[in-house]
Amino acid sequence: MKETKRKKVLELLEADRSRSRSDAAIAKEVGCVTNYVYNLRKELSDKSELRARWEAQILSLLESVPAWSPSDIAKAVRCPDGLVVKVRDKWKQEQERRESAAESTPQEHKTSVLVAATGLSAEVETSYLETNDLPPAPVEVVTRSSILSTAKSYITRDRQADHGDAEDNFSRIAGYWSLHTGVTLTATDVAVMMALLKVARIKQNPQHVDNWVDGAGYFACGGEIANK
């Protein structure tokens, strides 16, 4: 009798994924206490969350270590082999669908899209259609002027609009950092330390322009704050 009620409640819960019915309404229909329905709903929710985590981990492993067998992945994720096979098959179908869609796209359409994105001329578009080659991506020329200009737009318009006045923010951060470190810091210290963070990142990747732009912005803010 208990298994019959459990089965009936689970069926109703499965059909009520949108949660349009209350636990009390389901309990009344089945003839059980509301708490029993609540516990089964939670059990279903926990299983759904666990399955979602498993599927995300399986997809990650399928892409990063394609040589692994379903059994290898199942052991790593600690999930049933059958689930790995289902996810893998669905993943393969999606990969094949994308490859097929890419191959069936007319060359004229591909080139037109790229021309629209890069701003190349119609003559260049025609030449690429004839050679069946894709146009090269435009090379961004980085100059001291472009770095300073971008930094200026960030600190005077974009980020100020989003985050408020720099001095107020740096002063607030200085207060938090002072409490955490036990050392009295100022808004100017924050500007310098944030710039040094960018210097550390430049050491790792000097070609990443954003670090130079942000560094210039932090020094500009610090210089303004220090001279008020």
> pLDDT digit string (tens) for 19-59?
788 888 888 998 889 888 888 888 877 777 778 888 888 88
| 8 Å CB contact between 111 and 128 | yes
Q: Is pLDDT larger for residue 127 or for residue 58?
A: 58
Q: Which of these ranges, 13-27, 48-62, 113-127, 131-145, has the smallest mean pLDDT?
A: 113-127
For the segment 209-227, the average pLDDT, to the nearest whole number, is: 90
Q: What residue ranges do the domains of the chain occupy?
A: 2-101, 105-139, 144-226
Pair of tokens at residue 21 = 């019915």
Q: What is the DSSP string of 19-66?
A: --S-HHHHHHHHTS-HHHHHHHHHHHHHHHHHHHHHHHHHHHHHHH-T
* Burial grade of 169 (CB within 10 A; 0-12, 13-18, 19 or more): middle
CA distance 177 to 191: 13
* Measured CA distances, 185 to 180, 188, 216, 220, 222 (Å): 11, 8, 21, 18, 13
- Tokens 């995300």, residue located: 56
